[in-house]
Amino acid sequence: MRELERISTKLAKFRPSLTLELKSLAAEREERGLPVYDFGLGETKGELAPHIREAGIRAYREGQTMYGDPAGLIELRRSVLEWLGLQDRYGPENVVITAGAKQSLLNIFLSVCNPADTVLFDAAPWVSYQPLAIAAYASPIMVLPRAGELNRLKVSPADLKRNLKMRPHARLFLLNSPVNPTGQLYSADEVEALLQVCVEHGIFFVLDRLYWRIVFEGRTYPEPRVDDETRPWLIQVDGISKNFRRTGGLRIGWSVAPVDVTRAMVNLQSHYTSGPAVPTQYSALAAITEPYDEELCRALQGKRDLLRKEAEALAYVEVWPTPASFYSFWDVRGVFGKRAPDGRLLESSSDVAEYLVQAAGVVTGPGTAFMQDGYLRVSFATPDDQIVAGVRAAATALEQLS
Ligand code: PLP
């Protein structure tokens, strides 16, 4: 039997992420003693807050290591509602604690989609949405906004309606705001209008709000309307991976959803994970019950401004404004058609990303990974000196194109 046939057709088609390939090119440079500037990161650096660490250690010391409730610790589920300001609108029976936000997403797809149902994503979907939907036997479809980059790739209600007309089997629309990779934030009116379309069409509106505390210029996160009309269709996904330092590996996320959907997810989870690790749930509980430390958001805003200033020197590149998240989105279509000093023609964002790694040691996320060739995702959750030196190295590499 050939290797491919030993693996299911579905999973055999999964590709490792492009960023991993770039990382191996970067490692080759490092071996040669050349500098590398990593803008591919999807998490913040720094110290884990002592109260988060101590809560995990205490849980181990006190033997909190037996099976827990598959829905997650009841105290954590209650605290999740307070963290989201939803304690008056939902109860713990609406919350499932999961192994990262990723598992919440897979739970949702598996719980509400029948085979071949359509799930609609926004125009630059985060890399794992599609594999997760496919793993759940659903068909992922990207909603392409008519306004395109004029509205920074944000989906409008008219875009969503147009797609719903074409796809009667749509079960849900997944909105990610703040958006990874574009760094955009949907306003309260934009969220409301999209939610309204979903309610009218009787499809789920799934809001992935994983970066919701990282909104700049003192903005507050535009909350979706939660009332009797929206509650049956609204599902929110969140977690601790992005809004705190060094917490991605704790693997805790959650969903807040209608009771029937939550029940289905808990049932599923009871069979395949029995809920996430209990000690890390205690760490998550400590993280979200302390008053939120805005230090991370302030530091990231400073990095965003630094990167923006340095990036003014980049030839052929337009840098989008970043109202939220820690990703700068670069329009690199101006580079297409140019030649590298070795004569290689740069024709896609993967070519540009590869060139920047090989010529300057600058690691970015090519837009092809997010179904938007023409752009690079640049994470600025990296030390200031790396931002300055890395953007300068990229500027020098771009100047060498002809
Ligand atoms: N949703 C978005 C938009 C993300 O960027 C990520 C992680 O990068 C996830 C979900 C998954 O988060 P977690 O690491 O908590 O599983």
Confidence of residue 231 (pLDDT cuts 50, 70, 90): very high
- pLDDT, residue 207, reads 98
**103 C-alpha vs ligand 1 centroid, how far in Å?**
9
- pLDDT, residue 393, reads 97
On the 0-12 / 13-18 / 19+ scale of CB atoms within 10 A, 388 is middle
Q: Which residues contact 167 (CB under 8 A, 6 or more apart)?
A: 118, 120, 141
**244 C-alpha vs ligand 1 centroid, how far in Å?**
13
Residue 332 has which token pair?
């690199």
Q: Which atom of ligand 1 has the smallest separation from the CA of 103?
A: 16
Confidence of residue 19 (pLDDT cuts 50, 70, 90): low
C-alpha–C-alpha distance, residues 137 and 98, integer Å: 20
Q: Which atom of ligand 1 has the smallest separation from the CA of 180?
A: 3
Residue (of 129, 46, 42, 37) closest to 326 by Cα position: 42
CB 42 less than 6 A from any atom of ligand 1: yes
CB 377 less than 6 A from any atom of ligand 1: no
- pLDDT, residue 1, reads 54
Q: Residues 167-195: pLDDT tens digits?
A: 989 999 999 999 999 999 999 999 999 99
**What is the best residue among 126, 213, 247 to mutate for testing ligand 1's pocket, by most ligand atoms within 8 Å of CB?**
126
Question: Could you tell me which residues are beta bridge partners of residue 142?
Answer: 121
Q: Residues 193-215: pLDDT tens digits?
A: 999 999 999 999 999 999 999 99
CB 118 less than 6 A from any atom of ligand 1: no
Place of tokens 């290591």: 65
Q: Residues 45-68: pLDDT tens digits?
A: 899 999 999 999 999 999 999 999
Torsion angle of C-alpha atoms 289, 293, 296, 297, degrees rounded to 10: 100
Q: Residues 335-358: pLDDT tens digits?
A: 999 999 999 999 999 999 999 999
Q: Which atom of ligand 1 has the smallest separation from the CA of 105?
A: 10
Residue pair 65/282 in contact by the 8 Å Cβ criterion: no
C-alpha–C-alpha distance, residues 354 and 398, integer Å: 12
Please name the residue ranges forming H helices in 291-369: 295-311, 349-360
- pLDDT, residue 23, reads 77
Query: Which amino acid is it at 302?
Result: G
CB 101 less than 6 A from any atom of ligand 1: yes
**85 C-alpha vs ligand 1 centroid, how far in Å?**
21
**43 C-alpha vs ligand 1 centroid, how far in Å?**
10
- pLDDT, residue 2, reads 57
Q: Which of 16-30, 97-111, 261-275 has the lowest mean pLDDT?
A: 16-30
How far, CA to CA in Å, does 152 sit from each of 144, 182, 322, 334? 11, 8, 10, 17
Residue (of 131, 380, 390, 357) closest to 366 by Cα position: 357
**Arithmetic mean of pLDDT, 95-103:** 98
CB 210 less than 6 A from any atom of ligand 1: yes
CB 180 less than 6 A from any atom of ligand 1: yes
How far, CA to CA in Å, does 189 sit from each of 57, 157, 185, 214? 43, 11, 11, 19
**Arithmetic mean of pLDDT, 300-307:** 98
Question: Could you tell me which residues are beta bridge partners of residue 234?
Answer: 205
Q: Residues 72-91: pLDDT tens digits?
A: 999 999 999 999 999 999 99
- pLDDT, residue 332, reads 97
- pLDDT, residue 18, reads 64
With 60 as the cut, is the pLDDT of residue 235 above it? yes
Q: Residues 376-402: pLDDT tens digits?
A: 999 999 999 999 999 999 999 999 999
CB 381 less than 6 A from any atom of ligand 1: no
Angle separating helix axes 349-360 and 384-399, nearest 10 degrees? 110
Residue pair 379/327 in contact by the 8 Å Cβ criterion: yes
**20 C-alpha vs ligand 1 centroid, how far in Å?**
17
C-alpha–C-alpha distance, residues 296 and 133, integer Å: 32
CB 241 less than 6 A from any atom of ligand 1: yes
Residue 338 has which token pair?
């140019």
Tell me how crowded residue 27 is: count the other CB atoms within 10 A of its CB.
Answer: 10
Question: Over the chain, what is the mean pLDDT?
Answer: 95
Q: Which domains does the chain have, with CATH numbers?
A: 3-47+294-399 (3.90.1150.10), 50-289 (3.40.640.10)
